[in-house]
Amino acid sequence: MRRRLGHLYGQFYLDDFGEIFARELGVPVDVLGSQRDNYWPSYLEKAQLRDVLDSITLRFKTLKVPLYDGTGENTKKAEADFLAEARRIFAEERVRYRIDDKGGVHFTVDAEFERSRIATLSQLGQARYAGIRELFEAAFTAMDSTPPDGKGAIRSVFFAAESLFRLMYPNSAQLSAGEVSKQLKPRIDAIYDSQKPAIYVAQNSCLRSRIG
């Protein structure tokens, strides 16, 4: 992945990218050497992972075209081509990261994980859920760190779930085993009253939450 990214960087106009890289990431770079397209594969191979991932965002944001681009169309095409190739490298090398439309790199697991993340965030758009959304997003910020902060992510997700639970049941002081049995279980049983398989799955989820 590192070497392929390095070759990708060299496919676009480098100009002063090496100087920007050194200044923004605070790491040593051979500024003159970095203007050659064969410099980056070996450099990224030895760099810290956090710097490699940050460099993708930085390269995207500093893409230039060698000729005058009054309309900006050539720059937009270069950005689209860069994103497409970087994403292809990630997919083919099977790394657990994704690249957003602004060049940001984020930790991810699989397509279903990402679908669930987006679906959950979309349901937390109302003002009353602002604090919950902030905690939920904090969990993914923790996962985006290098290395991923799993403990911080779990803590933020739990507090997000507890905050939502307390909004649903104001008389419950916290998300505890007793409160789950008292508040959630009857509601779930009522929702899936005629669907035994669904009740079984839901009751197991309640049991796991009580054990946790």
The per-residue pLDDT for range 109-164, each reduced to its tens digit, is 777 777 888 888 888 888 999 999 999 999 988 988 877 899 999 999 999 999 99
- Mean of the per-residue pLDDT values of the chain: 88
Q: Please, are residues 24 and 58 in contact by the beta-carbon 8 Å criterion?
A: yes
Q: Please, are residues 17 and 34 in contact by the beta-carbon 8 Å criterion?
A: yes
Dihedrals phi, psi of 150, to nearest 5 degrees: -65, -40
Q: Please, are residues 2 and 47 in contact by the beta-carbon 8 Å criterion?
A: yes
Model pLDDT, residue 16: 94
> pLDDT digits over 156-188, tens only?
999 999 999 999 998 888 888 888 888 888 887
Average pLDDT over residues 59-65: 93
Residue 31 confidence (pLDDT) above 80: yes
Identify which of 115, 86, 91 has the alpha carbon closest to the alpha carbon of residue 103. Answer: 86
Q: Please, are residues 157 and 136 in contact by the beta-carbon 8 Å criterion?
A: yes
Q: How does residue 206 score in pLDDT terms, banded at 50, 70 and 90?
A: low
CA–chain centroid gap for 50, Å, is 14
Dihedrals phi, psi of 194, to nearest 5 degrees: -100, 10
Residue 208 confidence (pLDDT) above 60: no
Dihedrals phi, psi of 13, to nearest 5 degrees: -55, 115
Percent of the chain clearing pLDDT 70 (strictly above): 93
Model pLDDT, residue 162: 92
Residue 10 confidence (pLDDT) above 90: yes
- The 8 Å CB, 24+ separation contacts for 132-137 are 132/160, 132/163, 132/164, 132/167, 133/160, 135/159, 135/160, 135/163, 136/160
> pLDDT digits over 129-138, tens only?
999 999 999 9
Measured CA to CA, the distance from residue 164 to residue 162 in angstroms comes to: 5
Q: Name, in order, each residue with C-beta under 8 angstroms of 139's C-beta and a sequence gap of 6 or more.
A: 152, 153, 154, 156, 157, 160
Higher pLDDT, 47 or 113: 47
Q: 9: which 2 tokens?
A: 């960087």
Dihedrals phi, psi of 188, to nearest 5 degrees: -65, -40
pTM here is 0.66
Residue 212 confidence (pLDDT) above 80: no
Average pLDDT over residues 10-26: 95
Model pLDDT, residue 75: 92
**What's the burial of 19, exposed, middle or buried (CB within 10 Å: 0-12/13-18/19+)?**
middle
Sign for the CA dihedral angle at 200, 201, 206, 211 comes to: positive
Residue 211 confidence (pLDDT) above 50: no
Model pLDDT, residue 203: 65
